[in-house]
Amino acid sequence: MGAVARPCTRAGPLLQTRSDVYRDALARLERFAKHDTVHVLLVGETGTGKSIFAQHLHGSSPRAGRVFHRVALSAIADTLAPSELFGHLQGAFTDARSKRAGHFVSAHGGTLFLDEIGKASLVVQHNLLDAVERQEIAPVGADRSVRIDVRFVAATNVCLHTLADEGKFLPDLLARLDGFVVRIPPLRERRDDIPLLVSHLVAMHAPEFGYQKPPAIDSHLMEALTSADWPGNVRELDVTIRRLLVEGEGALIITLGHCTDSLAYLRQSKCGIAIAELVVAEVQEKGNIAAVARKFGVSRTTVYRYIDCAAAVGTTIAAEIAS
């Protein structure tokens, strides 16, 4: 692993990294970005930041000063696909009261981000294939096609090859997207980046929840955050940080004791259990909850949460105190 974080060219804080595997993915993306006639497929689990990668590719390309247009393909109904994608003329059908540009025309000259392409219906896929192959479209109601200048960037969290084998994805469309693929690593493969992401997210969200300045993250909590699996990846981490800020209620330091309800698993991590046992041992020795709370810099409620945590995993001392 690299020792120093580096922000990539034109990248925001969420793309800073200490991870070799993430750095390699970004380098691959930037290499493809330079050639704005090639279409790129972004593959990654839910929440890995595919839209951020797509925007970074656009910003690193010769099209950077032009439009970046996103379309969620899973939301397009089959009956509306031609109109949604290619637009329509006024009067082209019953409800066509005015002219509509469509997603392809809206992205002309720039980048069209085809999000959730693995969830697109076969009808939508056929429409896409025709436009990608010919680089021209025919708005509904038009008597001739128009040329388009669009760079396609598609994203998926499912294996398109598997979908193609199952007859759910067009092999010809896959062939046109499969030449330039960037795999975005999940958060569990780049744990060294979690403290960077936590610091950024805390700073970004703290004002939203009434903090005068971003609170510090206790080292035990940071260790628990770093060791968690994060099946929802950066998106899940973002929600977790927001929850912690709410539970912190303006505290100067956010600790494992603020991990309530659905975040209790962080308290019950290896690190969380260790600090909980320290707290309950101190309670046994001093017999004074308030004094222990002052020593650890937490509230009395947080001390009780640590006791509950230790009791939940079978610590005898904590069970006796809790009873």
pLDDT of residue 88: 57
In 86-212, DSSP assigns E strands to 111-115, 136-137, 146-147, 151-156, 181-183
pLDDT surpassing 70 at residue 272:
no
Domains with residue ranges and CATH for the chain: 13-185 (3.40.50.300), 189-322 (1.10.8.60)
Q: How far is CA 59 from CA 6, 43, 118, 136, in A?
A: 17, 19, 24, 24
CB of 317 within 8 A of CB of 307? Answer: no
Q: What is the mean pLDDT of residues 46-56?
A: 95
Question: Which of these ranges, 46-50, 51-55, 77-81, 316-320, has the smallest mean pLDDT?
Answer: 316-320
pLDDT at position 35 is 94
Which of residues 17 and 305 earns the better pLDDT score? 17
| Residue 87 pLDDT greater than 80, yes or no | no
C-alpha dist (Å) from residue 158 to 55, 93, 116, 162: 20, 35, 9, 8
102 within 8 A of 86, measured Cβ to Cβ: yes
pLDDT in tens, 94-141: 565 555 778 888 888 999 999 999 999 999 999 899 888 888 877 666
Among residues 38, 37, 31, which one has the least CA distance to residue 56? 31
Write the Ramachandran bin of 282: left for phi over 0, alpha for psi from -120 to 50, otherwise beta: alpha
Higher pLDDT pick, 5 / 181: 181
Residues ≥6 apart with Cβ < 8 Å to 178: 41, 160
Decide: helix, strand or coil at residue 102.
Answer: coil
Phi/psi at 42 (nearest 5 deg)? -100, 125
> What's the confidence (pLDDT) of residue 60?
94
pLDDT at 297: 62
Q: Is 135 left (phi over 0), alpha (psi -120 to 50) or beta?
A: left
Compute the distance between CA of residue 212 and CA of residue 194 in angstroms, rounded to an integer: 24
Output the CA torsion sign for 249, 253, 257, 258.
positive
How far apart CA 179 and CA 26 sit, in angstroms, is 17
DSSP string of 124-138, one letter each residue = HHHHHHHHHHHSEE-
pLDDT, mean of residues 64-68? 93
Contact between 11 and 26 under an 8 Å Cβ cutoff? The reply is yes
Q: What is the mean pLDDT of residues 250-259?
A: 88
Q: What is the pLDDT of residue 141?
A: 60
What pLDDT sits at residue 270? Answer: 58
**Cβ atoms 251, 220 nearer than 8 A:** no
pLDDT greater than 50 at residue 90:
no
> How far, in Å, CA of 225 to CA of 252, rounded?
18
Q: What is the pLDDT of residue 314?
A: 52
Is pLDDT above 80 for 280?
Answer: no
More confident residue, 167 or 309: 167
Share of the chain above pLDDT 90, in %: 50
Q: What is the mean pLDDT of the chain?
A: 83
Mean pLDDT of 47-66: 95
Percent of the chain with pLDDT over 70: 79
Token pair 């010919």: residue: 134
Q: 172-224: per-residue pLDDT in tens?
A: 999 999 989 999 999 999 999 999 999 999 999 999 999 999 999 988 899 88
